Amino acid sequence: MPEVVVTSSGHLKQIIQAGNHMLIADEPAAGGGADSGPGPYDLVLAGLGACTSMTLQMYAKRKGFPLERVEVRLSQSRIHADDCADCESKEGYVTRIDRFITLSGPLTEEQRTRLMEIARRCPVHRTLSAEISIEDRLL
């Protein structure tokens, strides 16, 4: 997997180098940025949405499902832990991601159900759902 390098370019604007690709991240003007690119949480959601769509497309192709198009809409919020029936944490807040998936094509109900099961198996979903260890080192 290629290394990702993020370098500040002004106050909140960030230049992201991911392999051969360059992206810009920023905060909206209301948050003190120049709104020259998506914010960090938008990039996390974009990664999850892209991974979900790619995973579903690959699975459908391998199984011969007539999947024509996938659209993934995502939003992120914070909710009280005690309002989350499926969460291990019962105190404080929990980050909640709502993922709405539209599957286009002449799919059977069984194929749609299976694809929704597969969506939970995309690698980014698994990463975000698992324990994560981040090690910081000063260079």
pLDDT digits (tens, 9 = 90+) for 11-20: 899 999 999 9
CA dihedral 39, 45, 50, 51 (to 10 degrees): 130
Q: Which residue has the tokens 């024509």?
A: 68
* Cβ–Cβ < 8 Å for 51, 123: yes
Q: Is the pTM of this model over 0.85?
A: yes
What tokens appear for 32 in the block? 């003190």
Q: Which of 4-13, 40-49, 80-89, 112-121 has the lowest mean pLDDT?
A: 80-89
Greatest extent of the chain over all pairs of C-alpha atoms, in Å: 54
pLDDT in tens, 55-88: 999 999 999 999 999 999 999 998 766 666 666 6
Mean pLDDT of 109-129: 97
H helices of 1-139, in order, are 40-63, 109-119, 123-129
Decide: residue 112, CB within 10 A, 0-12 exposed, 13-18 middle, 19+ buried: middle
CA dihedral 22, 20, 55, 43 (to 10 degrees): -20
